[in-house]
Amino acid sequence: MLNKGQIKLIQTAVRAAGLRTKMFDGRYRLLLSHYLAPNARPVKSCKQLDNTQLDDLLAICESHGWRMPGKEDDFYRRKIAAKCYVASFAQQAAIKYLAGDLGWDDCQLSGFVKRMTRGEMDNIAGLDPRQAYAVTEALKAILGREAGKKYNNLRQIQDDLETARDGTNQM
């Protein structure tokens, strides 16, 4: 929930960016409708926005020419860009390999990722680094429980699986 100062900032920014005029606020209403309230319905008023949505709206205003006094010209755009990041290719590959070691197919992995992210995400391509780390650690723990061992890193899992395949050490 935004405070009065934030609401005033939105109104000033939207007018300065030309998204809302005295006679026409259709563009502003259309822009608001792209944000979702906590009840998963489109926002109808800026009072329903959260802080992340506020930053995003102000970044849009910056791209239309509005500037926050005392800040760089692209302050909000950089702030939003810094929040939008996904897990590295190495993290995604590690998750795929661990799921493969468990014998899981894509559907099982998708369901596991959905459970781990509380329904936010159902594929590994959209995970952020923090979520990917949590999924990797959970998969390592599952593998460890199945093998009766505790793994500290992916190399230990790989070495253990290679020795099991060679027949020198049965899990």
Q: Report the SS3 class of residue 10.
A: helix
Distance CA 75, CA 66 (A): 11
State the pTM of this model. 0.53
**pLDDT confidence of residue 171:** 44
92-144 residue pLDDT tens: 888 998 998 889 999 999 999 999 988 888 888 888 888 888 999 999 889 88
Q: Are 132 and 90 in contact (CB under 8 A)?
A: no
Burial class (CB in 10 A: 0-12, 13-18, 19+), 74: middle
Question: How far lies 36's CA from each of 15, 17, 48, 79, 98, in Å?
Answer: 22, 22, 9, 20, 35
Distance CA 29, CA 163 (A): 62
The residue ranges of every structural domain in the chain are 4-83, 89-166
